[in-house]
Amino acid sequence: MMMTMETETPADLVEVPVIDLVHPLPGFPEDDRFALVRLDDEGLLFGFRSLGGSGLEFVVVPPAPFHPGYAPVVGDDVVGDLQIDDVDEVLVLAVVRAGSSLADTTINLRAPIVLNLVTQRACQVILDDPDLPIAAPLVG
């Protein structure tokens, strides 16, 4: 059974103390524990910071405010790995690539980070959908 992930941000999400990645991010095998830290008052920008001492940090955003209707479908393996029981307990985040201006800034819709807010387990999911861009404009 595949599961469609909602991409709304829970209004009360401020910070998740520690997130355990069930699979390391591609290219960063040593970084498996992260903190999700709110970077703005609106809850649109988050820092995804490694706790492993590498200094690795990504800026991530919930895609829904920028790409309404975005609802990635993940497989049973992801649902099982993250111990997802209810889609309402899931936060989907897109990695931001900062451009020289806001108009040049993009997000990766092909490889979202899926986070179970209850278990605090997460993974980056590479979606098998060629219609989803790796560099979608943040703003249109």
Spell out the per-residue pLDDT of the chain, length 140, in tens: 455 655 555 444 445 578 999 999 988 989 999 999 999 988 899 999 999 878 899 999 999 999 999 999 999 999 999 999 999 999 999 999 999 998 999 999 999 999 999 999 999 999 999 999 999 999 86
| Confidence (pTM) | 0.86
| H helix runs in the chain, sequence order | 76-81
What is the per-residue pLDDT for 2? 56
What is residue 95's predicted lDDT score, i.e. its pLDDT?
97
For position 5, what pLDDT does the model report?
58
Identify which of 57, 139, 134 has the alpha carbon closest to the alpha carbon of residue 105. Answer: 139
Which H or E run includes 140? Answer: none
Torsion sign (Cα): 35, 36, 38, 39:
positive
How far is it, in rounded angstroms, from Cα 115 to Cα 19? Answer: 8
- Residue 11: predicted pLDDT: 45
Q: Which of 68, 8, 9, 6 is nearest to 39 (CA)?
A: 9
State the Cα–Cα distance between residues 109 and 34, nearest whole angstrom: 20
